Structure 1
Amino acid sequence: MESSGSAGGGSRLEAAIGDAIAHDATLKVSLASQHYLDGTSKVELARRHGLSRFQVARLLEEARDEGIVRIEIVDPVAAGRDLAPLARRLGVSSVTVAAERPGESARAAIARQVARLLTAQLPEGGRLGVAWSRTLMHLPGALGQLSRADVVQLVGSLSTSGYSTAQSSALAHSLGAHTRGQVWALPTPLIVDSAQVAASLRAMEEVRSTLDAADSLDVATVSIGAWSEGDSTLWARLRPEEQRQAREAGVVAEICGILLGADGAVWHSAMEDRVIGVRPDQLRRARVIAAAPAVGRPDAVLAAARSGLVDDIVLGPELAEQVAALFE
């Protein structure tokens, strides 16, 4: 009999505890709904429920800790601004405007939006191509975890004002750490002194295998350079005579060492034989996300879009307005 009474007492106690927990949860839901949805003050909630202001505050804090209340902060800048009408006019899949956050550079803001698109587009087990630029060097810091994928360096290393060839080649390895896949590095300069030297380098096994790996890219990240001093990383590597010839031929943009005219056509010249990097046909087979940092050169963005080399373009607000103005 004592055993039976003890068991009955235990059941009643468990039931009482269960009722108290349910009442406590119901109270938290009620307080949270009135406070966060209706805007009722903690003082008024205390009066309505016969509690102290401090008890209300404690219960609301517990509601957050227990997941009854979930507060989501949406940064309107984080996703960028999608300009679908402009994308249709350009004939590309998307145009994203990257607004700067406080303390953030324009190039870092563009790289952050490239990272967002890359995270969405890169398939598991895929192959990612990357070309270094002063904008895309900010890419690793903007990335979280990516799908597992191999990484292919699209062009040979180069240096530019304030940046070394080591930083250029390190980008592919840094992205490889994010994707946890094989890295196909390109241990050559972007452009060499002669076609003979370039041919000799392309014949090297490690160079040939990387260039061949670009045949099956799923996604690539590149930068659109305007064809002028300071806007193209290739410009300073060309001889003055080649710079002049390119200008006279109407070149307005450069992507991965590929020179483009205003109509998007690739400019073919002897210079191509000295460049070591991805070919136009290889880029056209991939989903290409392009960063466009050159404010004041909307013609470069238009040429890139017309070339068929890029699918998604990320640019700053000022350049976006300049590109849109081309269609007015």
Structure 2
Amino acid sequence: MTLYAWEEAVVTRSTRRPPGDDQSRLMVKVARLYHERGQKQAQIAEALGITQVRVSRLLRRAVDVGVVKTVVVSPPGVHTELEDQLQDRFGLNEAVVVDVMSTDERDIAQNLGAAAAAYLDNTLLGDEVLGISSWSANLLAAATFLRPTSSPVVSDVVQLVGGVGDPQVQIEANRLLTTFAAATGATPIFLPAPGLLGTADARRSLMSDPAVQQVTARWAELTTALVGIGALEPSPLLAQSGNSIAAADQDTLRKLGAVGDICLRFFDESGRLVASDLDDRVMGIEPEQLMTVPRRIGVAGGTRKLSALRGVLQGGWINVLVTDITAARHLLGTQ
């Protein structure tokens, strides 16, 4: 992603004083005229009665000996230092940190969605096979904010996990894929199944269905996965939508130490997979296969999801994170 920054040259008195007082004075004078007054090298050469080649050499020398130092000042809303710290701490390939205007989860979703869309606009360059989880307010916002491309940048958008809850949720999952596909020029490939079945036998039966197998076969071709990160405790909006697992299943997972999930695969605070009988009922990509996708983008924020965020980062489930500034500071222990 392209980051914009202001670059400012600062002329200082070097502690490593270059040899020759006359040369030092000339070098500092040239540096001040160039960096502080904005004069061109040809103007400086004419004013001081020296060649432009010498001006250029003096400017390079000023940098070499520390007379001129470059300071990059990030504009408001750009948090490159936090992003670098997240990348170093958790081994991420990329981190995107954004401001949010309130603690309301709907507002957070809009801000994270806009940031994820901007990241994707800059990094989807063509011939991508992208997998996307079935339901996430953050991802739906991202799909909505994507700028339509003049030529396809994604060949196929593949659903990674079925819809969860009542049939309306499958409609929302289809809307997510359709919106994303329309913006990127991709073909949407839907998983014709619920996300969580009642029994393992039902899952085995559906997984052998030819229509389902046509979708699951595409998971091996994924170049990018775009996923939401769920907390064990669903948000009120999520619970009202029917897109959450049953209370009894939540209790079982809580006792096993689960703190969150990706594509209905639950993990603990260290990022380790939590094994339960739910795994045999999930219609979705297996954790091992998800981990082989070259780029795995997680979009999540807010303090409610901090435990899930820590777990997903500790476990290496994702290698690109889009989050908000408050969550980033909590993850780094600076707030």
Per the alignment, do residues 115 and 274 of structure 1 end up closer, same or farther by CA in structure 2, a change over 3 Å counting? same
Give the match for residue 322 of structure 2.
314
Q: Which runs of 5+ in 1 are unaligned?
A: 1-37, 39-73
Per the alignment, do residues 280 and 122 of structure 1 end up closer, same or farther by CA in structure 2, a change over 3 Å counting? farther
**Corresponding residue to 2:306 among 276, 298, 313:** 298
1:203 aligns with 2:208: yes
Give the match for residue 138 of structure 1.
141
Q: Specify the SS of the correspondent of 1:208.
A: helix
Q: Specify the SS of the correspondent of 1:150.
A: strand
Deviation at 1:245?
2.2
Deviation at 1:95?
2.3
Whole-angstrom CA distance in 1 between matches of 2:196 and 2:79: 35
Per-residue CA deviations over 1:66-125 (Å, capped at 9, x if unaligned) read xxxxxxxx9854x66551112211222222212247999211110111112223333411
1:257 aligns with 2:260: no
Whole-angstrom CA distance in 2 between matches of 1:85 and 1:100: 19
After TM superposition, the score normalised by the length of structure 2 is 0.67
**Corresponding residue to 1:215 among 220, 228, 245:** 220
1:125 aligns with 2:132: no
Task: Determine if contact 1:110/1:314 at 8 Å carries over to the other structure.
Answer: yes
Q: Specify the SS of the correspondent of 1:285.
A: coil
Per the alignment, do residues 212 and 80 of structure 1 end up closer, same or farther by CA in structure 2, a change over 3 Å counting? farther
After TM superposition, the score normalised by the length of structure 1 is 0.69
Per-residue CA deviations over 1:148-207 (Å, capped at 9, x if unaligned) read 4211011102358xx743112221122111222322111111111111111222122221
Whole-angstrom CA distance in 1 between matches of 2:281 and 2:257: 20
**Corresponding residue to 2:164 among 144, 158, 162:** 158
1:181 aligns with 2:189: no
Per the alignment, do residues 207 and 76 of structure 1 end up closer, same or farther by CA in structure 2, a change over 3 Å counting? farther
Task: Determine if contact 2:227/2:297 at 8 Å carries over to the other structure.
Answer: yes
Whole-angstrom CA distance in 2 between matches of 1:285 and 1:117: 21
Pairwise CA RMSD? 3.0
Aligned residues: 253
Deviates more, 1:224-233 or 1:300-309: 224-233
1:323 aligns with 2:331: yes
Bigger Rg, structure 1 or 2: 1
Deviation at 1:229?
3.3
Whole-angstrom CA distance in 2 between matches of 1:279 and 1:80: 34
Per the alignment, do residues 324 and 314 of structure 1 end up closer, same or farther by CA in structure 2, a change over 3 Å counting? same
Sequence identity, in percent? 23
